[in-house]
Amino acid sequence: MAPSTKPEENMLWGGRFTGGLDPLMVEYNESIYFDKALYKEDILGSIAFARANAKGGILTEEEFAKIEQGLRAVMQEWETDAFTIVPGVDEDIHTANERRLGELIGKDVAGKLHTGRSRNEQVACDMRMWLRDRLREIEGYLASFLRVMAARANQEIDLVMPGYTHLQRAQPIRWSHWMLSYGLAFAADLERLRETIRRVNKSPLGCGALAGNPFGIDREMMAAELGFDGLLWNSMGGVADRDFVHEMLQWATTLMLHVSRWAEDLIVYSTAEFGFVRLADAYSTGSSLMPQKKNPDSLELLRGKSGRVFGRAAGFAMTLKGLASTYNKDLQESWEPMLDTVKSVADSVRIAEGVLATLETRPDRMRQALDPFMLATDLADYLVRKGVPFRETHHISGQCVALSEKTGTPMDQLTYEQLREVDARFEPDVAACFDYEKSVEMRSAKGGTSKECVLEQIRVLNEMLDAKA
Cα–Cα distance for residue pair 462/458, rounded to 1 Å: 6
Q: What is the pLDDT of residues 300-330, one digit of tens each?
A: 999 999 999 999 999 999 999 999 999 999 9
Q: Which domains does the chain have, with CATH numbers?
A: 23-110 (1.10.275.10), 137-368 (1.20.200.10), 376-466 (1.10.40.30)
Q: Strand, helix or coil at 449? A: coil
The pLDDT score that the predictor gives to residue 288 is 65
Amino acid at residue number 314:
A
* Active-site residue, 394 included: no
Confidence category of residue 13, pLDDT binned at 50, 70, 90 = very low
Residue-wise pLDDT for 260-301, tens only, equals 999 999 999 999 999 999 999 999 987 666 766 789 999 999
Surface-to-core class of residue 154, CB atoms within 10 Å of its CB (0-12 exposed, 13-18 middle, 19+ buried): middle
Any idea which of 186-200, 411-425, 451-465 has the lowest mean pLDDT? 411-425
With a pLDDT cut of 70, the percent of the chain lying above it is 93
Three-state secondary structure call for residue 175: helix
| Span between the terminal Cα atoms of the chain, in Å | 56
β-pairing verdict for 168-174 and 160-165: antiparallel
Q: Is 209 helix (H, G, I), strand (E, B) or coil?
A: coil
| Average pLDDT across the chain, whole number | 93
In the predicted model, is pLDDT for residue 469 greater than 90?
Answer: no
- Over residues 227-245, the pLDDT tens digits come to 999 999 999 999 999 999 9
Beta-carbon count within 10 A of 435 CB: 15
Residues facing 21 on adjacent strands: 5
- In sequence order, what DSSP letters do the residues of 246-291 get, joined into one string? HHHHHHHHHHHHHHHHHHHHHHHHTSTTT-SEE--GGG-B--SS-T
How many Cβ atoms sit within 10 Å of the Cβ of residue 354?
16
By DSSP bridging, strand 168-174 and strand 202-203 are unpaired
pLDDT of residue 468: 72
pLDDT for res 33: 87
Q: Look up the pTM and report it.
A: 0.91
Q: Is the distance from CB of 395 to CB of 353 less than 8 angstroms? A: no
**Confidence tier at 179 by pLDDT (50, 70, 90):** very high
pLDDT-derived band at 76, boundaries 50, 70, 90? very high
CA dist 463 → 112, 146, 255 (Å): 51, 11, 20
**Mean pLDDT, rounded, for 384-389:** 94
Query: What pLDDT, on the 0 to 100 scale, is given for residue 20?
Result: 64
Q: Cα separation of 30 and 23, whole Å?
A: 11
Per-residue pLDDT averaged across 157-169, rounded? Answer: 97
Using the predicted structure, report yes or no on whether residue 12 has a pLDDT greater than 80. Answer: no
Report d(CA 49, CA 43) in Å as an integer: 10
Question: Are the CB atoms for 436 and 375 separated by under 8 Å?
Answer: yes
Catalytic residue among 94, 144, 166, 298: 166
pLDDT at position 10 over 60: no
Count the Cβ atoms, other than its own, within 10 Å of residue 410: 12
Q: What are the two backbone dihedrals, phi and then psi, of residue 263, each rounded to the nearest 5 degrees?
A: -65, -40
Q: Is the dihedral angle over the CA atoms 273, 276, 281, 285 positive or is it negative?
A: negative
In order, the DSSP letters of 345-376 are HHHHHHHHHHHHHHPEE-HHHHHHT--GGGGH
Measure the CA–CA gap between 360 and 282, rounded to whole angstroms.
12
Reference 149, options 467, 468, 469, 460; nearest CA is: 460
Q: Is 4 part of the annotated catalytic residue set?
A: no
The contacts of residue 313 (CB under 8 Å, 6+ apart) are 246, 249, 250, 252, 253, 337, 341
Task: Exactly one of 287, 325, 395, 444 is catalytic; name it.
Answer: 287
- 330 within 8 A of 317, measured Cβ to Cβ: no
- The pLDDT value recorded for residue 289 is 66
pLDDT by residue (tens digit) across 129-144? Answer: 999 999 999 999 999 9
pLDDT of residue 6 exceeding 70, the answer is: no
